[in-house]
Amino acid sequence: MKDTDPRSRIPALTDAILDKLDDCDAVDHVCTCPLPHRETVGELLTLTERLLFPGYFNRKAVDKANLRFHLGQTANDTYEMLTEEIAKCILHSRRNLSDPDPEGARAEAAAHALDLLESVPQLIEVLDGDVEAAYLGDPAATGNDEIIIGYPGFRAILTHRVAHHLHERSVPLLPRIMAEFAHSATGIDIHPGAHIGRNFFIDHGTGVVIGETTEIGDNVKLYQGVTLGALSFPTDEHGNLHRGFKRHPTIEDDVVIYSNASILGPVTIGRGSAVGGNVFLTHDVDPYSKVTIEKPDNRIRRHTPR
Amino acid sequence: MKDTDPRSRIPALTDAILDKLDDCDAVDHVCTCPLPHRETVGELLTLTERLLFPGYFNRKAVDKANLRFHLGQTANDTYEMLTEEIAKCILHSRRNLSDPDPEGARAEAAAHALDLLESVPQLIEVLDGDVEAAYLGDPAATGNDEIIIGYPGFRAILTHRVAHHLHERSVPLLPRIMAEFAHSATGIDIHPGAHIGRNFFIDHGTGVVIGETTEIGDNVKLYQGVTLGALSFPTDEHGNLHRGFKRHPTIEDDVVIYSNASILGPVTIGRGSAVGGNVFLTHDVDPYSKVTIEKPDNRIRRHTPR
Amino acid sequence: MKDTDPRSRIPALTDAILDKLDDCDAVDHVCTCPLPHRETVGELLTLTERLLFPGYFNRKAVDKANLRFHLGQTANDTYEMLTEEIAKCILHSRRNLSDPDPEGARAEAAAHALDLLESVPQLIEVLDGDVEAAYLGDPAATGNDEIIIGYPGFRAILTHRVAHHLHERSVPLLPRIMAEFAHSATGIDIHPGAHIGRNFFIDHGTGVVIGETTEIGDNVKLYQGVTLGALSFPTDEHGNLHRGFKRHPTIEDDVVIYSNASILGPVTIGRGSAVGGNVFLTHDVDPYSKVTIEKPDNRIRRHTPR
């Protein structure tokens, strides 16, 4: 053990860390332009949930008398928080410009926040269909309320519909952080770029991955562990990845994909099809098909009980 | 950008949201009857953990001298919180009755809370077996304490034993919310209806799904990604799902199910059997069987290093 | 319902719980020697993140002017918290000794904390490579910053590199609790004993399991659901598990392992190889090999649309 207080080493240590941070070329380890904080994004998503389903995510009861007040207050809080966080993201994306224009960024952020609030009625309608799809799709559901407050699949799609709205309008960074917040809470990883139709339900959900360029029609149901992923990533002559091209599946209307199935690449699963558990697919499937793994090739041996 | 303060739009926006909420027929988006809050259920589960394993989940140390005081206080807090949350759930389930009888609901909730506390000694005994099973089943375990504070499989079964107790006594909603809280924290999704015997251990755990009508014997061990699920859902002549019938597997005593195996439908895995990794099973298995996938059909190609 | 206040039962209940706790032989349900608290470990990991990536995990902005002050303060806070938590773990591991020597334990803990701080520059360098590997490996990444704040695979490897450092120096308990904290947040379960080389990237990540004696080279990429696990656990003549021997795979440099592949046992995957999605492997693979599942044996039937 040392003779002196180890804390006397901290100033020298701090200098060593500073030197090292200066050395880092490829990755900037120091973020001087504030980014949304993990917990703040969680709070923002809670506000959004309260706006879409008043009373379900509040500690105190909402009643008919205070509903208008509650909604107005929540809309106001959401507007302010959303403006602030989007502004951070815009400024961050412009941090290398000579004039990042903070005033302009804030006005742009406010417009995005207002636009999201204007879309709340439509989001309510779409989420309505998602709750119904969950109830109709799960024999263990005893009512809509347990779906709204408890189902991870519903939490993931609610977050996705908000994040996707912002992503479509080119809000940088925030949609992805929202998606990862939901991923952490639910085990369901939906890239905010994915297009998802109405009446969507993911049951159980842990391990589901839905890639950036996935397109999903109406009335689609997924189970836990389903991957809608990419197959390979073309690179340019310098070995850099192409980014942004279509590399994930298209799932047409009325498709069910059972647990742990993987569908990889820009293939199309035709409408009305069912993809069975554990199926591994890298090609198109005609409409109204049922794909299952061949009679699983299991080997069964008996042994004598000890 | 807008000329005026965008916030002046918020009252009109709020009215648009209110109109839309009024429109929703199938799903009630407004919850005027308070439900348990996600975080409150987390706090309630922490209280329960403190009652079952005093000192492991406290920020301050518990010692022999203050143990009785600590337990009495925790029992009292658990009783009060549990009564309040169960009462919310009962009243919520009666929200469409002409007389939901809040007094009666509260008395019923208090009786349920007391009943759970009376069962704590038995829960302690059963969880004792679960800790031992984890230690005996995992070569990476260095002692019981890391299992109790850290293992997700243990956290999931502790929560399940509490939620299942309430579910068996027909407490509405709360057991499911507890289960989803544990699911979010551990990636392990156990429906509170599942019957699980003694000395149960789930290793790693992420992606495990155990359905509502699953029955599991004593000394069963599961690994990550195991699904004990349903195969298909019969519907009535109106296309509505049947709910509540047996649709998940029965796993007899002394069975091990390795990672990512799926067992689907109301089949029985006989005692003493082992189901190998990635096996996909939809039929009964005799006792003392070992089921593995046939020598995996892999294709191996060499390529020349670049 | 009862005539009397149910709370009058609580003292008797408490005594019944105390009696039961006294009965438990195999498992000590009462922890009188304080252990790190789940949330404290979360706070400690946040401090570490702030030290490694200043400004990314702070609520307030860090700027060039206050960077040195920020780092010094964070280093100091990390040192104090780490010393306290490591001391708890050391004392806990000595709780059955006649003289647990609290003074000595604290000095030892302080030395470990200082040693971790001394390694921060090296950790920064290694994590730099991990951020780059994520950017180069994921076509959906728009920049390094979303990887640092949002990617679960990056959060898991950052936590692992800190936990592994402490584990290598035989700090008891804390590394495992850190690993389980990251597991809960990300669905990625890396035992702190695993050796992982440079430029490591896990995409999506949910369901990944990396066992205690796994060895991974440089430039390795894993996808969601990959298991690097054990095959069977030898026991001694009393049926007790052997602990600590090599039972998990070795993955050489420049290997990619696609989603949901399982590699089990102490096998070696040779450098430059690729293991395809869903592959189940229990044998060695030569360098520069490509292993895929044989053309998946799917059965496709058409049905007439209703």
- Which of A160, A163, A132 is CA-nearest to residue A147? A132
- Shortest distance between the Cα of A4 and any Cα of chain B, in A, equals 30
Q: Are A211 and A228 in contact (CB under 8 A)?
A: yes
Report how far residue C271's alpha carbon sits from residue C265's, in angstroms, rounded to the nearest whole number.
18
- Would B10 be classed as within a structural domain? no
User: At a CB cut-off of 8 Å and minimum separation 6, what does A222 contact?
Assistant: A201, A202, A203, A208, A256, A257
- Would B11 be classed as within a structural domain? no
Query: In this complex, do C305 and A292 lie within 8 Å of one another by their Cβ atoms?
Result: no
Q: Which of A86, A145, A262 to mutate to test the interface with B (most CBs of B within 10 A)?
A: A145
Report how far residue A287's alpha carbon sits from residue A271's, in angstroms, rounded to the nearest whole number.
5
User: At a CB cut-off of 8 Å and minimum separation 6, what does A295 contact?
Assistant: none
- Would A198 be classed as within a structural domain? no
Q: Are B181 and B192 in contact (CB under 8 A)?
A: no
Report how far residue B158's alpha carbon sits from residue B182's, in angstroms, rounded to the nearest whole number.
9
The whole-number average pLDDT for the span B27-53 is 91
State how many domains chain C has.
2
Do A166 and A47 sit in the same domain of this protein? yes
Q: Are C176 and C197 in contact (CB under 8 A)?
A: no
Q: Are C278 and B296 in contact (CB under 8 A)?
A: no
Alpha helices in chain B (DSSP H): 10-23, 38-52, 67-93, 102-118, 120-137, 144-150, 152-168, 174-186
What is residue C1's predicted lDDT score, i.e. its pLDDT?
Answer: 46
Do C47 and C108 sit in the same domain of this protein? yes
Confidence of residue A3 (pLDDT cuts 50, 70, 90): low
Do A104 and A249 sit in the same domain of this protein? no
The whole-number average pLDDT for the span C176-187 is 97
Confidence of residue C3 (pLDDT cuts 50, 70, 90): low
Task: State how beta strands A298-302 and B289-293 pair.
Answer: antiparallel
pLDDT at B255 over 60: yes
Compute CA distances A186 → A183, A288, B20, C141, C177, whole Å: 5, 31, 28, 21, 21
**pLDDT digits 0-9 by tens, C264-284:** 999 999 999 999 999 999 999
What is residue C296's predicted lDDT score, i.e. its pLDDT?
Answer: 66
pLDDT at C140 over 70: yes
pLDDT at B1 over 60: no
Report how far residue A94's alpha carbon sits from residue A105's, in angstroms, rounded to the nearest whole number.
9
pLDDT at C232 over 90: no
Q: Which of B2, B13, B22 to mutate to test the interface with A (most CBs of A within 10 A)?
A: B13
Report how far residue B272's alpha carbon sits from residue B270's, in angstroms, rounded to the nearest whole number.
7
Task: Tell me the chain C residues in contact with residue A156 when contact means C-beta distances shorter than 8 Å.
Answer: none
Task: Tell me the chain C residues in contact with residue B53 when contact means C-beta distances shorter than 8 Å.
Answer: 29-31
In the three-class reduction of DSSP (H, G, I as helix; E, B as strand; rest coil), residue C266 is classed as: coil
What is residue B60's predicted lDDT score, i.e. its pLDDT?
Answer: 80
- Shortest distance between the Cα of B92 and any Cα of chain C, in A, equals 20
Do A171 and A225 sit in the same domain of this protein? no
- Whether C111 and chain A come into contact, CB under 8 Å, resolves to yes
Buried b (16+ CB within 10 A) or exposed e, A186-218: bbbbbbbbbebbbbbbbbbbbbbbbbbbbbbbb
What is residue A239's predicted lDDT score, i.e. its pLDDT?
Answer: 72
- Whether B2 and chain A come into contact, CB under 8 Å, resolves to yes
- Which of B54, B88, B93 is CA-nearest to residue B74? B54
**Residues present in chain C in total:** 306
Helix (H) and strand (E) counts in chain B: 8, 15
**pLDDT digits 0-9 by tens, A194-251:** 999 999 999 999 999 999 999 999 999 999 999 999 987 677 777 777 777 899 999 9
User: At a CB cut-off of 8 Å and minimum separation 6, what does A22 contact?
Assistant: none
Do B144 and B263 sit in the same domain of this protein? no
Contacts across the A-B interface (CB distance below 8 Å): 214
- Would B301 be classed as within a structural domain? no
User: At a CB cut-off of 8 Å and minimum separation 6, what does A112 contact?
Assistant: A82, A83, A86, A166, A169, A171
- Whether B292 and chain C come into contact, CB under 8 Å, resolves to no
Query: In this complex, do B31 and A51 lie within 8 Å of one another by their Cβ atoms?
Result: no
Do A110 and A254 sit in the same domain of this protein? no
- Shortest distance between the Cα of B56 and any Cα of chain A, in A, equals 24
pLDDT at C2 over 50: no
- Which of C275, A48, A43, A293 is CA-nearest to residue B262? A293
Nearest-by-Cβ selection for C55 from A30, A187, A189: A30
- Would B146 be classed as within a structural domain? yes
What is residue B95's predicted lDDT score, i.e. its pLDDT?
Answer: 87
Q: Are A64 and B6 in contact (CB under 8 A)?
A: no
Q: Are A265 and A285 in contact (CB under 8 A)?
A: no
Q: Are B13 and A120 in contact (CB under 8 A)?
A: yes
Do C83 and C226 sit in the same domain of this protein? no
Token representation of residue A246: 């279509």
What is residue C302's predicted lDDT score, i.e. its pLDDT?
Answer: 80
Alpha helices in B169-214 (DSSP H): 174-186
- Would A98 be classed as within a structural domain? yes
Report the chain B residue with the minimal C-alpha distance to residue C11: B72
- In this complex, the chains that touch B, judged by 3 or more CB pairs closer than 8 A, are A, C
Query: In this complex, do C289 and B302 lie within 8 Å of one another by their Cβ atoms?
Result: yes
Nearest-by-Cβ selection for A114 from B6, B262, B279: B6
Q: Which A positions 5-24 lie with beta carbon below 8 A of chain B?
A: none
Do C237 and C112 sit in the same domain of this protein? no
Choosing from C133, C165, C192, the residue where a domain stops is: C192
Confidence of residue A1 (pLDDT cuts 50, 70, 90): very low
Across chain A, the runs of DSSP E, i.e. the strands, are: 189-190, 195-196, 201-203, 209-210, 215-216, 221-223, 227-229, 250-251, 256-257, 262-264, 268-269, 274-275, 280-281, 289-293, 298-302
Q: Are A297 and B293 in contact (CB under 8 A)?
A: yes
Q: Are C83 and C106 in contact (CB under 8 A)?
A: yes
Nearest-by-Cβ selection for C207 from B51, B206, B303: B206
Report how far residue A151's alpha carbon sits from residue A201's, in angstroms, rounded to the nearest whole number.
10
pTM comes to 0.95
Where does residue B306 rank: exposed (0-12), middle (13-18), buried (19+ CB within 10 A)?
Answer: exposed
Do A35 and A106 sit in the same domain of this protein? yes
Do A163 and A44 sit in the same domain of this protein? yes
3-state SS track over C21-64: HHHCCCCCCCCCCCCCCHHHHHHHHHHHHHHHCCCCCCCCCCCC
More reliable by pLDDT, C62 or A83: A83
Give the mean pLDDT of chain B. 92
Which CATH number do you get for residue B49? 1.10.3130.10
The whole-number average pLDDT for the span B14-23 is 91
Q: Which B positions 214-233 lie with beta carbon below 8 A of chain C?
A: 223-225
Q: Are A39 and A47 in contact (CB under 8 A)?
A: no
Please report, in angstroms and rounded to a whole number, the separation of the first and last CA atoms in chain A. 54
Task: Tell me the chain C residues in contact with residue B302 when contact means C-beta distances shorter than 8 Å.
Answer: 286, 288-290
**pLDDT digits 0-9 by tens, A19-53:** 999 888 778 878 888 899 888 999 999 999 999 99
Residue B251 main-chain phi, psi, to 5 deg: -110, 115
DSSP secondary structure letter of residue A56: T
Task: Tell me the chain C residues in contact with residue B186 when contact means C-beta distances shorter than 8 Å.
Answer: 184
User: Which residues are C280's β-sheet partners?
Assistant: C262
Report the chain B residue with the minimal C-alpha distance to residue A106: B1
Choosing from A135, A167, A192, the residue where a domain stops is: A192
Give, for C269, the enclosing helix (H) or strand (E). strand C268-269
Report how far residue C13's alpha carbon sits from residue B105's, in angstroms, rounded to the nearest whole number.
23
Token representation of residue B194: 């599942």
Query: In this complex, do A139 and B244 lie within 8 Å of one another by their Cβ atoms?
Result: yes
**pLDDT digits 0-9 by tens, C201-212:** 999 999 999 999
- The residue behind tokens 């070569």 is B139
Residue B210 main-chain phi, psi, to 5 deg: -125, 110
- Which of B188, A144, A221 is CA-nearest to residue C207? B188
Choosing from B161, B192, B223, the residue where a domain stops is: B192
Give the mean pLDDT of chain A. 92
pLDDT at C157 over 90: yes
Of A277-281, B181-185, C240-244, least confident by mean pLDDT is C240-244
pLDDT at B303 over 90: no
Range ranked top by mean pLDDT from A299-303, B57-61, C164-168: C164-168
Where does residue C287 rank: exposed (0-12), middle (13-18), buried (19+ CB within 10 A)?
Answer: middle
Which CATH number do you get for residue C267? 2.160.10.10
- Whether B102 and chain C come into contact, CB under 8 Å, resolves to no
Task: State how beta strands A209-210 and A189-190 pair.
Answer: parallel
**pLDDT digits 0-9 by tens, B151-182:** 999 999 999 999 999 999 999 999 999 999 99
Compute CA distances B43 → A140, A284, B50, C6, whole Å: 26, 48, 11, 22
User: At a CB cut-off of 8 Å and minimum separation 6, what does C256 contact?
Assistant: C220, C221, C222, C273, C274, C275
- Would C7 be classed as within a structural domain? no
Range ranked top by mean pLDDT from A33-42, B52-61, B116-125, C55-64: B116-125
What is residue C231's predicted lDDT score, i.e. its pLDDT?
Answer: 87
Q: How open is the CA angle C186-C79-C91, to the nearest 5 degrees? A: 85
- Beta carbons within 10 angstroms of residue A232's beta carbon: 9
Nearest-by-Cβ selection for C243 from B114, B132, B139: B139
In the three-class reduction of DSSP (H, G, I as helix; E, B as strand; rest coil), residue B124 is classed as: helix
- Would B8 be classed as within a structural domain? no
Do C229 and C181 sit in the same domain of this protein? no
- Whether B295 and chain C come into contact, CB under 8 Å, resolves to no
What is residue A296's predicted lDDT score, i.e. its pLDDT?
Answer: 66
Do B48 and B186 sit in the same domain of this protein? yes
Residue type, A240: N
What is residue B288's predicted lDDT score, i.e. its pLDDT?
Answer: 95
Of A277-291, B256-270, C14-28, C68-82, least confident by mean pLDDT is C14-28
Q: Which domain holds residue B276?
A: 207-296
**pLDDT digits 0-9 by tens, A249-287:** 999 999 999 999 999 999 999 999 999 999 999 999 999
